[in-house]
């Protein structure tokens, strides 16, 4: 992509890979679009994708399927900025597909958390934040919509600390709000940056800069705002946390930026600061210890599988996060879990709306590879014979459950094939009761719309009509216990013991009270919300 010639070491060093998380409507799509605008990928905003209304998420999904393209929800966007090569892992907007987001976060090196300044931390942000925290990746906060009335910035800092349990370090501080958002004070550069132009967010915004005590700002901002700003900055410097790079890189302190994605204000300074602070891909844990991205051995893992939407072929695209070595088109690699060789013939990369065939790719990059049905989420591919396996991708707790069977018993084979493939794609999680055959399957999903997608796809891709009956369970816990023995295990009446696909014991609960009850009754049991 770049005109410059970078060697392998430089290529790795200039990579930055991150995902944007937010509660729906906080402005993730708009911010993504603006980052692409600054990256020069798009010339005017509003061209990346149309707004997806929450209500129509399933039908959108089906519409996309009809077009037989890679869904916009699964895109990985790559662009260049200032010699950096940036990969944004896009995630579905609708919370019912948030399991996809959880997995995508496994492939990201950093997360950007977009918060609506009027709403503060919302429900979905909380859940996604927990996944980032579990991974210990750096989390950047972008307080969005500063062009509108919002909460007091100090209140937002408090909100983040109280609700998410992470302290924040404001990298910049807003000057004026509601229609009167004039710019920010940049705490690193110790200067005021006033926004100017930007053509209502269509094009890149310009800034007027200067020292905070510069008298010109009293007239530009008005004395009252200028004085308030000076006081607030003083307060932050005295009472706030210090900038601590190590804590930021360990995900213990979140650098916080104020801006408005819609008007572009604060977007470019955010991007520059983000690039400044973040590191290139780091070594990743595996069964052979940490793997250095600069190693010669090409390796990566699959974090997402997307049906390729072509019913005639039923092929799929597996998304591979490259962790080490150089990828070259056509190379043959080992599929470690299956102990098989695979040729990566038509690898794809994603540039804004376009898919292109990629010739080379580097650690931090994501490539889409054709999957004839051999990949599972969490699989490792590597070039040498080392049997390297990256740490698996956890299964996240579904919140809705249904019993499902085929209407027509002659279609059992297709039914099971469909269920298996959809479960490998991570669309659903499948459980069964111990000692009961495959006649009665229990399906767990994170969002109820996944049930609709399941029924739709079983019918359209596998020709199977299903009967499904919703079950009253809302919570799932994986049992961690040495020598687990179901017969000695004491359970509340309304709780069900099942096995997951790996035959691990799992409990389905209807309420939190039952979970506490199970823990009290069974000493030495540890119940986990995530399975690995």
What residues form the annotated binding site for GTP? 22-29, 90-94, 144-147
Q: Name which of residues 378 to 397 contact ligand GDP (CB under 6 A).
A: none
Of how many residues is the chain composed?
532
Cβ contacts of residue 58 below 8 Å, gap of 6+? Answer: 449, 452, 453, 456
Residue 209 main-chain phi, psi, to 5 deg:
-120, 165
Instruction: Check binding of 499 to ligand GDP (CB under 6 A).
Output: no
- Shortest CB 381 distance to ligand GDP, Å: 32
Closer residue to ligand GDP in complex, CB, 28/517: 28
- Shortest CB 20 distance to ligand GDP, Å: 8
384 DSSP assignment: S
Tokens 């800034």 appear where?
Answer: 207
Instruction: Map residues 83-122 to x or -, x wherever contact with ligand GDP holds by CB under 6 A.
Output: ----------x-----------------------------
Closer residue to ligand GDP in complex, CB, 104/429: 104
Contact pick of 75, 144, 172, 286 for ligand GDP (by CB under 6 A): 144
Q: How do beta strands 400-406 and 441-445 pair?
A: antiparallel
**Whole-angstrom Cα distance, residue 106 to residue 237?**
35
**Whole-angstrom Cα distance, residue 16 to residue 275?**
8
Degrees to nearest 5, angle at CA 349 with 346 and 355? 90
Q: How many residues at the interface with ligand GDP, by CB under 6 A?
A: 17
Instruction: Check binding of 183 to ligand GDP (CB under 6 A).
Output: no
- Shortest CB 148 distance to ligand GDP, Å: 5
Q: Name which of residues 262 to 301 contact ligand GDP (CB under 6 A).
A: 262
- Shortest CB 159 distance to ligand GDP, Å: 18
Closer residue to ligand GDP in complex, CB, 125/429: 125
Closer residue to ligand GDP in complex, CB, 20/307: 20
Instruction: Check binding of 25 to ligand GDP (CB under 6 A).
Output: yes
Instruction: Map residues 4-23 to x or -, x wherever contact with ligand GDP holds by CB under 6 A.
Output: ------------------x-
- Shortest CB 194 distance to ligand GDP, Å: 17
Closer residue to ligand GDP in complex, CB, 121/506: 121
Task: Specify the stretch interacting with ligand GDP by CB under 6 A; choose among 5-13, 55-63, 244-252, 260-268.
Answer: 260-268
User: For the purposes of burial, counting CB atoms within 10 Å of the CB of 292, is it exposed (0-12), middle (13-18) or buried (19 or more)?
Assistant: middle
Q: Which of 529, 307, 527, 523 is nearest to 399 (CA)?
A: 529
From residue 407, alpha-carbon distances to 161, 389, 418, 439, 454 in Å are 51, 40, 14, 11, 15
**Whole-angstrom Cα distance, residue 416 to residue 104?**
27
Instruction: Check binding of 321 to ligand GDP (CB under 6 A).
Output: no
Contact pick of 1, 40, 46, 51 for ligand GDP (by CB under 6 A): 51
DSSP H or E stretch at residue 193: strand 191-196
Instruction: Check binding of 147 to ligand GDP (CB under 6 A).
Output: yes
- Shortest CB 427 distance to ligand GDP, Å: 22
**Whole-angstrom Cα distance, residue 492 to residue 431?**
19
- Shortest CB 61 distance to ligand GDP, Å: 16
Closer residue to ligand GDP in complex, CB, 262/464: 262
Across-strand partners of 382?
299, 334
- Shortest CB 25 distance to ligand GDP, Å: 4
Instruction: Check binding of 370 to ligand GDP (CB under 6 A).
Output: no
Residue 354 main-chain phi, psi, to 5 deg:
-95, 150
Closer residue to ligand GDP in complex, CB, 260/531: 260
Is-contact 513 494, C-beta < 8 A?
no
From residue 251, alpha-carbon distances to 89, 99, 136, 153, 504 in Å are 19, 21, 5, 21, 31
Binding site for ligand GDP (CB under 6 A): 22, 24-30, 51, 93, 144-145, 147-148, 260-262
């Amino acid at each position: 992509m770049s005109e410059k010639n970078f060697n392998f070491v430089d290529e790795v060093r200039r990579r930055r890979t991150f995902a944007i998380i937010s509660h729906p409507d906080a402005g993730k799509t708009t911010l993504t679009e603006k980052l692409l605008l600054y990256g020069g990928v798009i010339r005017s905003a509003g061209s990346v994708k149309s707004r997806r209304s929450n209500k129509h998420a399933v039908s959108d999904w089906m519409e996309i399927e009809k077009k037989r393209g890679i869904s916009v929800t699964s895109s990985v966007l790559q662009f260049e900025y200032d010699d950096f090569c940036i990969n944004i892992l896009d995630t579905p907007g609708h919370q019912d597909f948030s399991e996809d987001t959880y997995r995508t976060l496994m492939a990201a090196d950093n997360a950007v958390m977009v918060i609506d300044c009027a709403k503060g931390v919302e429900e979905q942000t909380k859940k996604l934040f927990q996944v980032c925290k579990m991974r210990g990746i750096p989390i950047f906060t972008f307080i969005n919509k500063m062009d509108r009335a919002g909460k007091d910035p100090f209140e937002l800092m408090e909100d983040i600390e109280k609700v998410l349990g992470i302290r924040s370090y404001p990298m910049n501080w807003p000057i004026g709000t509601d229609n009167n958002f004039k710019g920010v004070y940049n705490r690193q550069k110790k200067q005021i940056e006033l926004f100017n132009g930007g053509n209502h967010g269509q094009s890149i915004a310009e800034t007027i800069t200067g020292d905070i005590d510069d008298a010109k700002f009293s007239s530009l901002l008005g004395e009252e705002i200028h004085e308030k700003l000076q006081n607030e900055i003083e307060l932050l410097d005295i009472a706030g946390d210090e900038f601590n790079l190590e804590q930021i890189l360990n995900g213990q302190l979140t650098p916080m930026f104020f801006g408005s994605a819609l008007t572009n204000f604060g977007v470019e300074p955010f991007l520059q600061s983000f690039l400044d602070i973040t590191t290139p891909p780091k070594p990743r844990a595996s069964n052979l210890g940490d793997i250095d991205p600069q190693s010669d051995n090409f390796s990566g893992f699959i974090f997402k599988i997307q049906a390729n939407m072509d019913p005639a072929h039923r092929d799929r695209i597996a998304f591979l996060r490259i962790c080490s070595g150089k990828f070259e088109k056509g190379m043959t690699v080992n599929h470690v879990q299956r102990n098989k060789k695979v040729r990566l013939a038509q690898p794809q990369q994603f540039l804004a709306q376009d898919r292109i065939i990629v010739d080379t790719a580097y650690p931090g990059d994501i490539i889409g590879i054709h999957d004839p049905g051999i990949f599972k989420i969490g699989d490792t591919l590597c070039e040498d014979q080392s049997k390297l396996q990256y740490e698996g991708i956890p299964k996240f707790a579904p919140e809705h459950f249904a019993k499902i069977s085929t209407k027509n018993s002659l279609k059992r084979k297709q039914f099971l094939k469909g269920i298996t493939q959809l479960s490998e794609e991570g669309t659903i999680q499948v459980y069964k009761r111990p000692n009961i055959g495959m006649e009665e399957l229990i399906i767990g999903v994170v969002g109820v719309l996944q049930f609709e997608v399941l029924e739709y796809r079983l019918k359209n891709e596998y020709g199977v009509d299903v009967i499904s009956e919703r079950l009253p369970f809302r919570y799932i816990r994986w049992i961690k216990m040495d020598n687990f023995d179901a017969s000695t295990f004491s359970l509340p009446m309304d709780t069900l013991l099942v096995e997951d696909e790996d035959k691990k014991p799992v409990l389905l609960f209807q309420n939190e009270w039952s979970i506490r009850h199970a823990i009290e009754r069974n000493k030495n049991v540890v119940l986990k919300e995530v399975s690995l």
